């Protein structure tokens, strides 16, 4: 089913007046709103998630939006990947359509480790093409028995002369099956636990790499289980130093985790706008739904939940961009609050729509499915709570 985009206009931009944003961000927001209003995303066929995402990567590349995913030296917009821009783009795209947000986000997440730790040769070979939408990227960390517990990773890589040989499996890999390049984490054994993990670039045509299974989820996205069976890659495709993989993964996630919160905000803002429009037009008890105090109260709570999450999210992005400070705790707080609040906001919006809200094809129904995954991927809600608690204990010491 093709998506009909943004019937209630663009997301609210009041928060762009907050001191966390600069004029460049307001210009970016206006550019994004104009792009979508002109139909820049086109019709998005959710029944063909693979085809839709391939098309969206090309569209976003042609529009220059993917340039925000890589550093300026390799075709990007700013010297370093900027969190506030990522957040604005993801919030805007998620408001319009979840697959559009997904296509953008994975170009950044899939190559974030390359931007941080890749050799100049790898960066030059990959990043400009990612920015132009000519290569699709993926981030391969999760395993069947190692999701939140990265230390339990079983995929292994051994050095063999000028090559590394990878063996193992990864699961729930976003863009799995359509990606051209994968950032892969594997155990190299320099030390126990997470200190013995390294990061690699694997291309889809590297011998020994295969797609084992395509995975269908509650909201259609390209997902797969991938296998490395005596997969030989040049040693030059190592990112950073041996044993630095976990640090690289966490640095990458810290950059993009605030943008997950922003995507949740986009979904929540769309749900609120849909609920307000519906409440104003829905005739009930001789008035409209919007005239009922219970509806007004619910809408007030929804708006407050969104603003609370938005403040945490942009505070985190600003702290990273401007103050150049660590954001592990702040990113966890933003991701936790934004995704949980968005789930509640969308549920309330669906409730206001009544039976119509659960019909397949309704925006509230789509949003309800889209938000659920955000409470799990890039660190489930429970993991975010652990991260926050751990960081508090560190500060107390």
Catalytic residue set: 378
Task: Give CA–CA dist 267/11, Å, rounded.
Answer: 10
The answer to whether 6 and 37 have CB atoms below 8 angstroms apart is yes
Element of type H or E holding 225: strand 223-234
SS (H, E, C) 122-142: HHHHHHHHHHCCCCCEEEECC
How far from 46 is each of 40, 171, 222, 373, 379, CA to CA, in Å? 17, 22, 11, 16, 25
Question: Torsion-angle region of residue 168: left (phi > 0), alpha (psi -120 to 50) or beta?
Answer: left
Alpha helices in the chain (DSSP H): 23-37, 49-62, 83-96, 98-117, 120-131, 245-281, 293-318, 328-353, 363-374, 381-396
Task: Give CA–CA dist 34/27, Å, rounded.
Answer: 11
Helix (H, G, I), strand (E, B) or coil at 159: strand
Query: Which neighbouring-strand residues pair with 239?
Result: 199
- Counted residue by residue, the chain has a size of 397
The answer to whether 75 and 128 have CB atoms below 8 angstroms apart is yes
| Count of beta carbons in the 10 Å neighbourhood of residue 236 | 13
Look at strands 238-239 and 197-203 and give their pairing. Answer: antiparallel
Tokens of 255: 């950059």
Task: Give CA–CA dist 37/25, Å, rounded.
Answer: 18
Task: Give CA–CA dist 151/155, Å, rounded.
Answer: 11
Interacting residues of 287 by C-beta distance below 8 A, sequence separation 6+: none
């Amino acid at each position: 089913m093709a998506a009909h985009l943004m019937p209630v206009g663009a997301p609210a931009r009041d928060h762009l007046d907050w001191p966390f944003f600069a004029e460049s961000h307001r210009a970016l927001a206006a550019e994004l709103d104009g792009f979508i209003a002109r139909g820049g995303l086109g019709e998005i066929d959710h029944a063909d998630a693979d085809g839709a995402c391939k098309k969206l990567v090309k569209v976003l590349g042609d529009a220059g939006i993917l340039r925000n995913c890589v550093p300026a030296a390799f075709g990007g917009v700013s010297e370093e990947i900027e969190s506030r821009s990522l957040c604005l783009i993801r919030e805007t795209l998620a408001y319009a359509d979840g697959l559009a947000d997904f296509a953008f986000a994975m170009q950044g997440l899939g190559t974030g480790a390359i931007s941080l730790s890749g050799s100049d040769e790898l960066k030059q070979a990959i990043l400009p093409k990612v920015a132009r939408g000519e290569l699709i990227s993926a981030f391969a960390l999760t395993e069947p028995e190692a999701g939140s517990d990265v230390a339990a990773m079983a995929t292994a890589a051994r050095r063999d002369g000028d090559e590394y040989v990878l063996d193992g499996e990864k699961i729930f890999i976003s863009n799995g099956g359509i990606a051209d390049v994968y950032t892969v984490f594997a155990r190299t054994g320099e030390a126990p636990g997470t200190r013995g993990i390294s990061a690699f670039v694997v291309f889809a045509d590297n011998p020994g790499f295969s797609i084992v299974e395509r995975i269908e989820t509650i909201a259609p996205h390209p997902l797969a289980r991938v296998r490395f069976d005596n997969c030989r890659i040049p040693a030059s495709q190592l990112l950073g130093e041996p044993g630095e993989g976990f640090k690289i993964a966490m640095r990458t996630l810290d950059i993009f985790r605030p943008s997950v919160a922003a995507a949740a905000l986009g979904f929540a803002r769309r749900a609120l706008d849909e609920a307000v429009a519906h409440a104003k037009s829905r005739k009930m008890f001789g008035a409209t739904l919007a005239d009922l105090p219970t509806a007004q109260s619910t809408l007030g709570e929804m708006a407050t939940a969104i603003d609370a999450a938005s403040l945490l999210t942009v505070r985190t992005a600003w702290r990273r961009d401007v103050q150049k400070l660590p954001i592990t705790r702040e990113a966890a707080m933003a991701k936790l609050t934004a995704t949980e609040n968005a789930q509640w906001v969308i549920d309330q919006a669906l409730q206001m729509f009544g039976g119509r809200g659960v019909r397949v094809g309704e925006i509230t129904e789509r949003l309800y499915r889209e938000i659920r995954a955000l409470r799990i991927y890039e660190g489930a809600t429970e993991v975010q709570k652990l991260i926050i608690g751990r960081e508090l204990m560190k500060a107390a010491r």
